[in-house]
Amino acid sequence: MDVTKIEALIRELNELSYGNMYQNDFLLTWEKSQDEIMATFQVAEILRGLREGNISPRIFDSGLAISLFRDQSTRTRFSFASAANLLGLAVQDLDEKKSQVAHGETVRETANMISFMADVIGIRDDMFIGKGNAYMREVARSVQEGFEDGVLEQRPTLVNLQCDIDHPTQSMSDMLHLIKHFGGVENLRGKKIAMTWAYSPSYGKPLSVPQGVIGLMTRFGMEVVLAHPEGYEVMPEVEEVARKNAAAGGSYTRVSSMAEAFEGADIVYPKSWAPFAAMEKRTKLYEKGDWDGIDALEKELLKQNAEHKDWTCTEDLMAKTKDGAALYMHCLPADITGVSCEEGEVAASVFDRYRVALYKEASNKPYIIAAMMFLSKVEDVGDKLAQLLKDREPRCR
């Protein structure tokens, strides 16, 4: 990306209204205006341009980015660490096993105790329905209160690194991938995207990926189709968001087979997730500490799951898509038939054909997270980016 291109992106950014993102959290994409979403993409691309041009976008001389992962993660963890490092922040993990959090300490207290020098807090908490996003909001309220009470000199901003409802850093990376693949957001209008359930031998994958996708992609005039077997419904409130979004152009529909969803699709996103109702049941068992109940439920779900092995992205199904050449997407890692499991979400030949595209899709995440941080910590984003471009401080000297 040359300097002229970066300058053009900054000019485009300056036409957007995103001032409300300053000192604010990024928890759900549907809480952000269209301009704010677009500003995030612009800043992500500008930061990528700067870094690829060996221009440092470092804005912090010191400072901490706290990461709190309540579920395993490689991609998102590394993306968060990369984003923090790019802007000059050191990552400090709040490891609940190492710390006293596990010993009944209140959220409010911990949130303040880790925030005396925190600029950003990234949280992943996606295991229990009704819990993850609620927890993030509790942390956000706590640090806001701490700031207002004079405990914290500044309010650290939160980035949702995946919750029970949304996975904004993923869906935004996916969306940026589409924008770049189709040569501009305006070209997405009328495109059909099939977000479909797919079989995986593993159990209980978060709903936040399909929910994030239908909650975001419906904002760009696309024909968004959700497909899943009976019992694999997503959260009704997120479907409601999708329907409302689509009312402004495009559509949101639900169909009951992969074949129907794939028919003429420009983009397909077949991916396993757990059934919402079962996840709700699991959360209740968890609250009661009923581990036997959880085990029994898991067995039941795996059995239910195994009845839908035909929900898999084969070459035959791909042939049904627009010109047989829909863009295949996945948040990775995918369960690839004959590679990572016996029977999985996608045929090896399909996955192989899109590998490079999938990796590029994933490569957006560090920049999306860095953009979220940048927009929440810098008041005059356009000016600051222009100045960084002008200063040309090398990243690698």
Among 92, 144, 251, 283, binds a copy of itself (CB under 8 A): 92
Please report, as residue ranges, which positions from 37 to 56 form the binding site for a copy of itself (by CB under 8 A): 51-52, 56
What DSSP character marks residue 15? Answer: T
Q: Does 90 bind a copy of itself (CB under 8 A)?
A: yes
Q: Which is nearer to a copy of itself, 113 or 255 (CB)?
A: 113
- Does position 359 interact with a copy of itself (CB under 8 A)? The reply is yes
Residue type, 376: S
Give the pair of three-digit tokens for residue 113. Answer: 């105790």
DSSP 74: S
The helix or strand, by DSSP H or E, that contains position 69, with its residue range, turns out to be: strand 64-69
Q: In 256-355, which ranges are E strands?
A: 267-271, 327-328, 336-337, 346-347
The H-or-E segment that residue 10 falls in is: helix 3-14
Give the pairing of strands 192-197 and 267-271: parallel
Residues 6 or more apart from 329 whose CB is under 8 A from it? 174, 177, 267, 268, 269, 354, 358, 361
- Part of the chain binding a copy of itself (CB under 8 A), chosen from 8-16, 101-109, 170-178, 306-314: 101-109
Shortest Å distance, C-beta 120 to a copy of itself: 11
Site for a copy of itself in 108-127 (CB under 8 A): 109-110, 112-114, 116-117, 119
Alpha-carbon torsion, ordered 310, 311, 314, 320, to 10 deg: 110
Instruction: Report if residue 172 touches a copy of itself, rule: CB under 8 A.
Output: no
Q: Binding-site residue total for a copy of itself (CB under 8 A)? A: 70
- Residue 385: count other Cβ atoms within 10 Å of its Cβ: 26
253 binds a copy of itself (CB under 8 A): no
Other CB atoms within a 10 A radius of the CB of residue 121 amount to 24
Are 156 and 147 a contacting pair, CB within 8 Å?
A: no
The dihedral built from the CA positions of residue 343, 305, 365 and 90, taken in this order, carries a sign that is negative
Binding-site member from 2, 4, 98, 230 for a copy of itself (CB under 8 A): 98
For residue 307, the minimal CB distance to a copy of itself (Å) is 23
Tokens of 272: 């396993």
Q: Which of 3, 19, 91, 259: binder of a copy of itself (CB under 8 A)?
A: 91
| 103 is a site residue for a copy of itself (CB under 8 A) | yes
Q: Which is nearer to a copy of itself, 124 or 282 (CB)?
A: 124
2 binds a copy of itself (CB under 8 A): no
Half-sphere exposure of 248 (CA within 13 A, CB side): 11
Span interacting with a copy of itself, options 60-68, 165-173, 258-266, 305-313, rule CB under 8 A: 60-68
| Distance in Å, CB of 188 to a copy of itself, minimum | 22
Find tokens 């004079």 and name the residue: 150
Two structure tokens written together for 311? 């929900």
Positions touching a copy of itself (CB under 8 A) are: 51-52, 56, 58-64, 69, 72-75, 77-79, 81-82, 85-88, 90-92, 94, 98-101, 103-106, 109-110, 112-114, 116-117, 119, 146, 149-153, 202, 332-333, 339-341, 356, 359-360, 362-363, 365-366, 377, 384, 393-397
